[in-house]
Amino acid sequence: MNKTIDISLAGLLFHLEESAYYKLKNYLQLVRNSLNSEEDTDEIMNEVEARIAELLMKKQTHPNEVVNEKQIDEIIEIIGKPEEFEDEEPEKRPEYSPKKSLFRDPDQAMIGGVAAGFAHYLGIDVTLMRILFLILLFVTKGSFLLIYILLWIIIPKAKTVSDKLKMKGEKVSLDNIVENVSNEQADMKNSPMGENIERMGAGLGEVILKLLGLFLAFISGIVLLGLIISALAISPLSDFSIIVNQDAAVFQHVGMPLMWLNILTLLLVGIPFALLFILGLKLLFPHIKSLSRNVLLILGTIWIISLIVLSVKTVSGIAHKSFDIEITESQTFYSPKDTLILKINDNNVSVTNQQLTDDDIRIYFEESPDSLFHFRLVKTAEGINEKEARKAANKLVYPVDIDTLHHQIVLSSRFLYPAKYGYSDYDLEIFLMIPKGKAILIGENADDVYMNYDCEEGEVIFNREGQIYCSNQNPEKDENDRREEIKIQGDGVNISIDEKGLKIKAKDKDGKKAVIEIDEKGVKVKKDR
């Protein structure tokens, strides 16, 4: 059984076999001995250790994997041996072709180093990249500034020499590390003002990032709070959900209960805003751990599934509204009384089916073609084709109770339909036809449903000579409602009958006149004396 030794490189813990540990220890000692003439030995060694830690991380499949001697040999071959660095013509090492990595360049940064980082990555001049960024800023009318800030947050800063070498596409070898560290120290000595400017820029950048983090956390937090309250209100745990989930108006448009629509909306909107909230907190408090790759993968998968389900339901709902069909059901009934009572009662509505509110039920009062009351239902439904639309319309069930004993008709404010026909966008019109000289009394709850006459409970809808009106109205007389004036004339006598009453004018042989008027006020007689 091989002995293992734990070591720390660049703040990371690794488990090494004993032989691998001593080989690495000897290598680091050789590198340090070869740098006796360098003033920046400690900084170079830190960079070398950071590079070794990076390569070890790449070789490990899991954090607790033990590093063996062969892996240490491979890393030494990549970085280079001290004797190769000291030789004027170093021995040829195995080919290692590094790829450029995208970093923000703090050395050439004017704001955040994003433009300089892209310039290195694309291999173009940094000035040209800045001009391109300015053009994008004007073309997008300032919107590119938000993209720049987002890139500033996402793209890591090239902090170490290894990062800067990878940013430029150069080999992260021992000789390049030594050369770059030395150049950096020389630049800092020659330009202390530049170092101060960089520190000021970094401080300003930190302030901007803190403000951005506060903004993201605040806005996304409010959105998440609203979504959570909405989800709880419509959940089965809430009393309010009993009312909301029975109202299937939304169900007819998206083909799913409102509760499920709310859950999908919560996932589609909530997941991105939750990530923005965590990002805001991360900017405010850098020590907060980021979400693991597996968690992000799970959240992304849930979000994509929610998007697909809602998209499919929406497209399916649109397709199911291609055709609409209208079917009619009629019924005639006789009432010995002149007044029929209309009531609304939902006791005969089953809660096991999907229900629709009274917004889609309308009652119309019209004149009957004969001496009987007529009841007519007009059902309208939509479908993906004519056959499906007709089938859906026939599935609509509307409870009606005609009580001839008590001279009343009991309707419902809701109607029933199977859940699978949720896309059909049902509509129901009820026509009550009143014979001439008869009426309908508005009973309990009837005024809760839409009617084409503004009549309240206890009021009556009349049909007077073909004119329909409510008892709370003063209908205008039309030509059909006016009686013709009757006139009878003879020798000395003139009789007229009109809507005001009876009027008789008479004259005797002596020429004296007499007028007799009979109206609603009584009998009035006028005569010459």
What is this structure's pTM? 0.44
| E strand intervals along 240-315 | none
194 pLDDT above the threshold of 50: no
> Three-class SS of residue 493?
strand
Give yes or no for a contact between 270 and 227, defined as CB atoms under 8 angstroms apart: yes
Residues 6+ apart with CB under 8 A from 212: 149, 153, 280, 283
Question: Is the model more confident about 496 or about 16?
Answer: 16
Top-ranked range on mean pLDDT: pick from 169-173, 231-235, 392-396: 392-396
Average pLDDT, the chain: 75
**What is the model's pLDDT at position 265?**
83
Give yes or no for a contact between 48 and 55, defined as CB atoms under 8 angstroms apart: no
CA separation for the pair 434, 413 (Å, rounded): 21
Q: Where are the alpha helices (DSSP H) in 87-191?
A: 114-122, 126-139, 144-154, 161-168, 174-190
**What is the model's pLDDT at position 290?**
72
Q: What separation in angstroms does the CA of 407 have from each of 109, 385, 432?
A: 89, 42, 14
Give yes or no for a contact between 97 and 182, defined as CB atoms under 8 angstroms apart: no
**What is the model's pLDDT at position 74?**
81
pLDDT in tens, 386-401: 888 888 888 888 888 8
**What is the model's pLDDT at position 481?**
45
CA separation for the pair 257, 250 (Å, rounded): 7
Residue whose entry in the numeric block shows the structure tokens 């021995």: 91
Find the mean pLDDT for residues 107-120.
81
Q: How confident is the model at residue 378 (pLDDT cuts 50, 70, 90)?
A: very high
Residue whose entry in the numeric block shows the structure tokens 């009841």: 375
**What is the model's pLDDT at position 168?**
78
> Three-class SS of residue 66?
strand
**Sheet architecture: strand order including 12-17:** 4-9, 12-17, 66-67
Residues 6+ apart with CB under 8 A from 460: 339, 439, 440, 441, 442, 470, 471
**What is the model's pLDDT at position 426?**
83
Residues 6+ apart with CB under 8 A from 381: 324, 325, 389, 390, 392, 393, 395, 396, 421, 424, 425, 426, 427
pLDDT in tens, 253-297: 555 666 677 788 888 889 999 988 988 888 788 777 777 778 888
Q: What tokens does 472 get?
A: 């709370």
479 pLDDT above the threshold of 50: no
Find the mean pLDDT for residues 304-329.
83
Q: How many CB atoms lie within 10 A of CB 183?
A: 11
Burial class (CB in 10 A: 0-12, 13-18, 19+), 176: buried
pLDDT in tens, 203-226: 566 677 778 788 888 998 998 888
190 pLDDT above the threshold of 60: no
Q: How confident is the model at residue 177 (pLDDT cuts 50, 70, 90)?
A: low
